[in-house]
Amino acid sequence: MYRPIRASIRISAIRHNFGVARRHAGNARLWAVIKANAYGHGLLRVAAVLGDLADGFALLDIEDALTLRDSGVDKPILLLEGCFSTADMQVAAARGLSVVVHQPEQVRLLAAIRPAAPVPVFLKLNSGMNRLGFPLSRCRDVLQSLRELPQVGSITLMTHFAQADDELGIAEPLARFRQASEGLGLPLSLANSATLLRFPEAGGDWSRPGIMLYGGSPMPRLASAASLGLEPAMTLSSTLIAVQEISAGEHVGYGGLYRAPQARRVGIVACGYADGYPRHAPTGTPILVAGQRTATLGRVSMDMLAADITDIPGAGIGSPVVLWGEGLAADEVADAAGTISYELFCALAPRVPVVTV
């Protein structure tokens, strides 16, 4: 290996985290959400890990869905944004995919195909996120249009809550959704990770755990991943490749953003923003060197970053470094950088070797 950086994916953690989701889901079936290359953890890797546990897999791209089918996955697969052309809708039908329908054009796409078997549809309603979904007031009209199409098989009502991860919660949008769908007797898919963990009353028939499967907290301002019983699935690690002894008043890194108030030992880590580490992570972002907690110094470079090892006298060239993962929650690193763990995982660069442990 040319550089010492690597991302280790711990299979047992993914399975453990799925077990946490299962315990919270009650009788609901579970879509394992593996969009964005399984949040950077590897599409086929995670599908194989959860193949005997998940009731189905949810993702965005039809190409990824076909990759799963071609690899032998025969469980339900849900396209979370649906299809965007008649050709893709025809392929989805032919390969036994379920599709989200969230706008009128997708109803027309369904009407234009001639599938061998009816297509399972998840009718998405907008309960306040204001991204995708039909207005709640149109629920019954759209449902009637779908029911008139022989191309449509089972129909599940679906929504996504905008504030399941904060203090406001879901009470108001859930009440509006319940009112709009009252008496329809259709299965429901309501719960992402935050909803699943916080609001069992919104369990529905299909839940959609995502970030929690990978050990990130879906609500880091309210609860840490560890407090939720989740284990880190990805550990980004490297080593020190150089050590600098600097005097008081000297600077570290591009732009001289960090100026030493006194003499410091600085360890240079083989990891930078080209590896997926956030360039905007400021001085003070937590990092582990030789198993001890310390902090980054100065601006993150393309291929390197600096860590304060003044109080780690045993640290030197070759000392192990954890950027996030085992011993250092990704949520904590993300918070210091003003982002969320989702972005850290998804930003992992292709040049970083990934190993399964």
User: How far apart are the C-alpha atoms of 321 and 35, rounded to whole Å?
Assistant: 29
Residues 198 and 275 in one domain: no
Question: For residues 153-188, b (16+ Cβ closer than 10 Å) or e, as one string?
Answer: eebbbbbbbbebbeeebbeebbebbeebbeeeeebb
Same domain, 242 and 209: no
Out of 216, 248, 282, a domain closes at: 216
Nearest-angstrom CA–CA distance, 156 and 188: 5
180 and 61 fall within a common domain: yes
For residues 297 and 345, state if they share a domain.
yes
pLDDT of 157: 98
Instruction: Assess whether 92 and 240 both reside in one domain.
Output: no
Q: What whole-number distance in Å separates Cα of residue 101 and Cα of residue 109?
A: 10
Q: Of residues 2, 75, 254, 258, which has the active-site annotation?
A: 254
Last-in-domain residue among 216, 251, 266: 216
113 belongs to a structural domain = yes
Choose the catalytic residue: 2, 35, 277, 342: 35
Domain range for residue 288? 234-356
| 180 lies in some domain | yes
The enclosing domain of 265 has a CATH number of 2.40.37.10
Look at residue 1 in the predicted model and tell me its pLDDT. 57
CA dist., res. 214 & res. 345, Å (int): 9
251 in any annotated domain: yes
Does residue 273 carry a catalytic annotation? no
154 domain-assigned: yes
Q: Are 313 and 174 part of one and the same domain?
A: no
Helix (H) or strand (E) holding 68: helix 62-70
User: What span, in angstroms and rounded, lies between the C-alpha atoms of 84 and 105?
Assistant: 8
pLDDT at 352: 98
Q: Are residues 164 and 15 in the same domain?
A: yes
> 38 and 172: one domain?
yes
Residue 228 lies in a domain: no
Residue 214 a catalytic site member: no
Q: Which of 216, 251, 274 is the last residue of a domain?
A: 216
Looking up tokens 């969230």 gives: 102
Secondary structure class of 232 (helix, strand, coil):
coil
Residue 300 placed within a domain: yes
Is 298 found in the same domain as 189?
no
Same domain (yes/no): 69, 183 = yes
Is 249 a member of any domain? Answer: yes
Based on the domain organization, do 187 and 238 belong to the same domain?
no
Q: What is the pLDDT along the chain (357 residues), one digit of tens a residue?
A: 589 999 999 999 999 999 999 999 999 999 999 999 999 999 999 999 999 999 999 999 999 999 999 999 999 999 999 999 999 999 999 999 999 999 999 999 999 999 999 999 999 999 999 999 999 999 999 999 999 999 999 999 999 999 999 999 999 999 999 999 999 999 999 999 999 999 988 979 999 999 999 999 999 999 999 999 999 999 999 999 999 999 999 999 999 999 999 999 999 999 999 999 999 999 999 999 999 999 999 999 999 999 999 999 999 999 999 999 999 999 999 999 999 999 999 999 999 999 999
Per-residue pLDDT, 2: 81
What CATH number does the domain containing 156 carry?
3.20.20.10
Q: How many domains does the chain have?
A: 2
Q: Are 263 and 186 contained in the same domain?
A: no
Tell whether 6 is covered by a domain: no
